[in-house]
Amino acid sequence: MIRAGIKKEFMLFSRGFRLIGVIITVIGISLLYPLMYKSMEMMAGQIADMGQQIGGEAQDQVAGAVNSINSMMGSLESLYGGSMAAVGFKTGVSSITSTGFLIIALLLMATAGGEQKKRSVIIPNCAGLTPAGYVLPKFIVYPLMIGLLSFLGGIITGSISNLIYNNELIISDIIFSSFCAAVYMVFMTSLYFLVGLSTGRAGISVIIVYGGSTIIPILLQSLDIDRYNPFTLQTMLMSSYNDADMNNFALSTIVAVILSVICCLLALMITTLKRVDNTVGEANL
Better-scored residue on pLDDT, 221 or 127? 221
Q: Does residue 242 lie within any of the structural domains?
A: yes
Rounded (10°) angle between helices 18-54 and 131-164: 20
Lowest-confidence pick of 58-62, 69-73, 176-180, 249-253: 58-62
Q: Does residue 172 lie within any of the structural domains?
A: yes
Question: Tell me, what amino acid is at 149?
Answer: L
How much of the chain exceeds pLDDT 90, in percent? 37
The pLDDT assigned to 230 comes to: 92
Model pLDDT for residues 265-282, shown as the tens digit of each residue: 999 998 888 754 545 444
Q: What angle do CA 147, 151, 155 make, to 5 degrees?
A: 170
What is the distance between the alpha carbons of residues 210 and 98, in angstroms, rounded to a whole number? 8
What is the distance between the alpha carbons of residues 237 and 118, in angstroms, rounded to a whole number? 38
Lowest-confidence pick of 105-114, 181-190, 250-259: 105-114
How many helical (H) and strand (E) elements, i.e. helices and strands, does the chain have?
A: 12, 0
The pLDDT assigned to 262 comes to: 96
The separation between CA 133 and the C-alpha centre of its own chain, rounded to angstroms, equals 27
Lowest-confidence pick of 33-37, 71-75, 145-149, 211-215: 71-75
Could you report how far apart the first and last alpha carbons of the chain are, in Å?
19
Rounded (10°) angle between helices 202-222 and 171-199: 130
Better-scored residue on pLDDT, 12 or 141? 141
> Residues 212, 187, 1, 266: is their CA dihedral positive or negative?
negative
**Residue among 147, 111, 134 at smallest CA distance from 13:** 111
What is the distance between the alpha carbons of residues 251 and 122, in angstroms, rounded to a whole number? 41
**Residue among 238, 245, 213, 233 at smallest CA distance from 92:** 238
How much of the chain exceeds pLDDT 70, in percent? 77
By the 8 A CB rule, do 161 and 169 touch?
Answer: yes
Model pLDDT for residues 11-30, shown as the tens digit of each residue: 878 777 888 999 999 999 99
**pLDDT band for position 242 (50/70/90)?**
confident
Q: What is the mean pLDDT of residues 80-104?
A: 87
Domain that holds residue 233: 2-273
What is the distance between the alpha carbons of residues 102 and 86, in angstroms, rounded to a whole number? 24
Q: Does residue 25 lie within any of the structural domains?
A: yes
**pLDDT band for position 285 (50/70/90)?**
very low
Model pLDDT for residues 33-80, shown as the tens digit of each residue: 888 888 877 776 666 666 566 655 656 666 666 677 767 767 766 667
Q: Does residue 218 lie within any of the structural domains?
A: yes
Q: Does residue 133 lie within any of the structural domains?
A: yes
Q: What is the mean pLDDT of residues 232-248?
A: 88
Q: Does residue 233 lie within any of the structural domains?
A: yes
What is the distance between the alpha carbons of residues 200 and 117, in angstroms, rounded to a whole number? 6
Q: What is the mean pLDDT of residues 201-221?
A: 88
Q: Does residue 283 lie within any of the structural domains?
A: no
**pLDDT band for position 198 (50/70/90)?**
confident
Q: Does residue 231 lie within any of the structural domains?
A: yes
Q: How many domains does the chain have?
A: 1
Asked if the model's pLDDT at residue 164 lies above 60, the reply is: yes
List C-alpha distances in Å: 2 to 124, 133, 258, 260, 285. Answer: 14, 5, 21, 18, 19
Question: Tell me, what amino acid is at 30?
Answer: S
Lowest-confidence pick of 54-68, 167-181, 201-215, 228-242: 54-68
**pLDDT band for position 283 (50/70/90)?**
very low
Lowest-confidence pick of 23-27, 70-74, 101-105, 160-164: 70-74
**Residue among 170, 179, 182 at smallest CA distance from 242:** 170
The pLDDT assigned to 63 comes to: 66
Average pLDDT for the chain: 82
By the 8 A CB rule, do 153 and 30 touch?
Answer: yes
By the 8 A CB rule, do 44 and 69 touch?
Answer: yes
Sequence-distant (6+) residues with CB within 8 A of 157 are: 29, 30, 31, 33, 34, 88, 89, 92, 93, 96
The pLDDT assigned to 226 comes to: 79
